[in-house]
């Protein structure tokens, strides 16, 4: 496996967090910021970690080796974060996860790396019940021109991006081998989600 192909991971932290009521990039579980947990886990598999945030001033004391960037193009949602992360990448493939996804599955990440090493796909995303999971996924820097085209056309959905690239889809039966309950795709979108997750974390 070529390490240079998989050096960079990106944590997207630029959402509006309207349902949560406060900025999700500062979420804490048992006094530990989820962002710190993500960095700690991802550092085991990636040499280069980028945080894409709308509040870069909050990261002045970021750990060594963590790069902080802001959306180059504002108000187009997560597509802008993917665009910025790919532009700053130090590798061909970039792993993307959102700041409100607390469960990093390193075994699954290692599996995807092997899959992409033996593939010419320009992305690898999971597919459940005919719907794809845009994060906990890898995208190639080769898709940058296609993202630029979407932005030019004022098309901002990630679904639109998936439609015009050629991703490798990981189907549900394979996903279950790595995470039967699909916790690695969990999003903490609301205070209710957060409370449920806190209770599960105590078990």
Question: Among 79, 76, 78, 60, which Cα is nearest to 68's?
Answer: 60
Specify the pTM.
0.90
Quick: pLDDT tens for 30-79: 777 888 899 999 999 999 999 998 888 877 655 567 899 988 787 788 89
Region of poorest pLDDT, from 12-16, 100-104, 125-129, 197-201: 197-201
120 annotated to a ligand binding site: no
- Mean pLDDT of all residues in the chain? 86
14 appears as a binding residue in the annotation: yes
191 is in an annotated binding site: no
- Check: CB of residue 99 under 8 Å from CB of residue 41: no
Domains and CATH numbers, the chain: 3-202 (3.90.550.10)
Strand ranges inside 40-155, DSSP E = 48-53, 66-69, 93-98, 123-128, 131-140
**Does 163 count as an annotated binding residue?**
no
CA atoms lying within 13 Å on the CB side of residue 141: 17
Please tell me whether 38 is known to bind a ligand: no
Tokens found for residue 164: 């015009």
Percent of all residues in the chain with a pLDDT value above 70, rounded to a whole number: 85
Is 161 annotated as ligand-binding? no
- Place 15 in a pLDDT band, splitting at 50, 70 and 90: low
Angstrom distance (rounded) from CA 54 to CA 67? 14
Classify residue 68 as exposed, middle or buried by CB count within 10 Å of its CB (0-12, 13-18, 19+).
middle
What is residue 23's predicted lDDT score, i.e. its pLDDT?
65
Q: How confident is the model over 118-133, as a mean pLDDT?
A: 92
């Amino acid at each position: 496996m070529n390490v240079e192909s998989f050096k960079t991971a990106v944590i997207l932290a630029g959402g509006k967090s309207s349902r949560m009521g406060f900025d999700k990039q500062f979420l804490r579980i048992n006094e530990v910021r989820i962002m710190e947990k993500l960095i700690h886990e991802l550092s085991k598999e990636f040499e280069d970690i980028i945080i894409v945030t709308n509040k870069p001033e909050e990261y002045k004391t970021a750990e060594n080796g963590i790069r902080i960037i802001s959306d180059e193009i504002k108000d187009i949602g997560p597509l802008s974060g993917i665009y910025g992360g790919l532009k700053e990448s130090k590798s061909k493939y970039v792993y993307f996860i959102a700041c409100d996804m607390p469960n990093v599955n390193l075994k699954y990440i290692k599996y995807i790396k092997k899959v992409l090493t033996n593939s010419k796909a320009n992305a690898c995303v999971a597919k459940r019940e005919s719907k794809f999971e845009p994060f906990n996924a890898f995208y190639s820097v080769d898709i940058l021109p296609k993202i630029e085209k979407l932005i030019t056309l004022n098309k901002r959905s990630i679904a639109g991006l998936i439609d015009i690239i050629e991703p490798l889809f990981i189907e549900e039966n394979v996903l279950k081998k790595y995470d039967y309950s699909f916790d690695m795709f969990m999003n903490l979108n609301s205070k209710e989600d957060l409370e449920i997750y806190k209770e599960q974390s105590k078990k």
